Copies of this chain bind each other. A is one copy, B any other.
Amino acid sequence: VKLYHDKRAPNPRRVRIFLAEKRAHHEIDLELAVVDIAAREHQTEAFLALNPLGLLPVLELDDGRLLRESVAICRYLEELYPEPCLLGAEPYQRAVIEQWNRHMELELLVPVSQTFRNTHAFWKDRIEQVPEWGELSRKRSLERLAWLDRELADRPFIAGDQLSIADITALCAIDFGRISGIRITEDQPNLTRWYQSITSRPSTKA
């Protein structure tokens, strides 16, 4: 099994952290293969054969079958390697984790990514940028951090009492925001406490 990834992109990192949590409990035979976005390796014919959308990560199984999309890959790994449970143990909990993972993705990671793509010099000659949309996305991202701080007042993790995929998505979104000046602020004690707790886990170095 091979995971195609990029070291700096947030979506492959979601899978690497998920995998590192699983590897504390399971022996998992999986190798990493770098596809360097900065060197435009995600646009080569060879990579587009794996994913015509040119997006990372991609998981290649030993029989050649492919899986794209971070959450789809995580769901597959969860079923093969159940410990620790990161997608929920019963129907309502699974739905609540899905809800929070979607919130962290659609309300945080998407605007953080759109800020980066539309305002950063890295993308200047690579894509058509709309700086005004990037600024609106930055504002939205900062509003969502303030909301998340309030949400975390009464619980240790984003979807409840236990670590879940929603924490991993939130961490990757927040760390990815740094390059665009999107950061947790001093007046956000709950988010600060959550961030310190999450980043103390060895898996987040993956």
List residues of chain B with CB within 8 A of the CB of A122.
none
- Interface residues of A, count at CB 8 A: 32
Whether A64 sits at the interface, judged by CB under 8 Å, is: no
Interface segment among A19-27, A98-106, A178-186, A191-199: the answer is: A98-106
Q: Give the residue among A52, A103, A128, A133 with the most B Cβ atoms within 10 A.
A: A133
List residues of chain B with CB within 8 A of the CB of A80.
91
List residues of chain B with CB within 8 A of the CB of A136.
128, 130
Name the contact of A67 in the complex, choosing from B96, B106, B132 (C-beta under 8 A).
B96
Sample of 14 A–B contacts (CB below 8 Å) = A52-B147, A65-B92, A67-B92, A67-B96, A68-B99, A69-B98, A69-B103, A72-B95, A72-B98, A73-B95, A75-B98, A79-B91, A130-B130, A130-B133
A residues engaging B (CB < 8 A)? 52-53, 65, 67-69, 71-73, 75-76, 79-80, 91-92, 94-96, 98-99, 102-103, 106-107, 110, 118, 128, 130, 132-133, 136, 147
